[in-house]
Amino acid sequence: MSNIPQATQQNDVPPVTLPPQDFWTLYSPRGEFPLSSTASIVLHLLAVLLIILIGRLVLTKPAEQPAVDVLHVGPEPTAAPDEGAREGPQSEESLEAAEQPSQEAAAETMPIEELVQVDERPESQVEVPDTAGQMQKATRKAQEGSQAAKRARERLEAAKNRLNENLGGVGGGGGSGPTGRAARVARWIMRYDISSVQDYLAQIDGLGAQIAFPDRGDKFLYFSNLASPTPKKELKDISNETRIYWVDENPQTVAMVCQYLGVPDNGFFLAFFPRELEERLLRMELAYMNLAEEDILSTTFRVIRRGGGYDVQVESQIPK
């Protein structure tokens, strides 16, 4: 057995020595190292925050809208029956136009009450209809119309009295009717088939008659050659008129004849027939039922077309 020396084996470690005194001259012992560490940490935190902010901006950027197929509600006229109404992707402008309804479509779907223009003026400025004034105006017009009708009626009665005197007699107040030729005017009725104002005037002209409208005083405005586009007119006094006459008081026919001839509408006009037609009508009347004049209450004649002109025939008769 060998003997091992008891001495302790030492490592080759250099001894620890304190830094020289001038070390603290370069690195201050008053805390320069902690301050620099703190600044470094703050800079790293700012860098991390900047990275997070940039990441959020990138992540929140709006993504591109995917391509959308547009579906048409109604098939196009030129499309095949088995073809769908789908189209390819559209651009952003087309997609926005498809998503936003047109102004016309919006107007069509807008409720009616939204289209009504509301008068936003103050209540004191809103016009209130003058009901009382309108009623007074309507009443005044009605009175004027009534007065005009009254004057026209008075003129007609005065004209008939004068004409009946010229024809041989007028009806008295005791219930007796007209006498003489005036009695024929009272019982004769003339009917026309009218298709137009020109047709009406042509029928009157075809019987050789003239028409007259009331004018100033006892004067009447006579029209002859009625079938012509430019009838002849003449202002005459009826005090010497001896022809039989008929009175047209129908509002429609009077209005259209007055408008056609350009004369005021006084509610009536007179038609004067030649003496030859009067004698012929009398013969037709007496031969119809072989009655005397005094036995006939009324006789109705109708104007008919015959041989390119106009004629009359007895339509009906009522005896007394």
For residue 201, the model assigns a pLDDT of 97
Of the listed ranges 130-144, 234-248, 299-313, the one predicted with least confidence: 130-144
Question: 202-228 burial by CB neighbour count: b if 16+ within 10 A, else e?
Answer: ebbbbbebbbbbbbeeeebbbbbebee
Average pLDDT over residues 134-149: 68
Q: What is the pLDDT of residues 174-218, one digit of tens each?
A: 345 677 899 999 999 999 999 999 999 999 999 999 999 999 877
Pick from 265, 245, 253, 268: nearest CA to 153: 268
Residue ranges per domain, the chain? 166-170+177-314
Of the listed ranges 78-82, 250-254, 257-261, 290-294, the one predicted with least confidence: 78-82
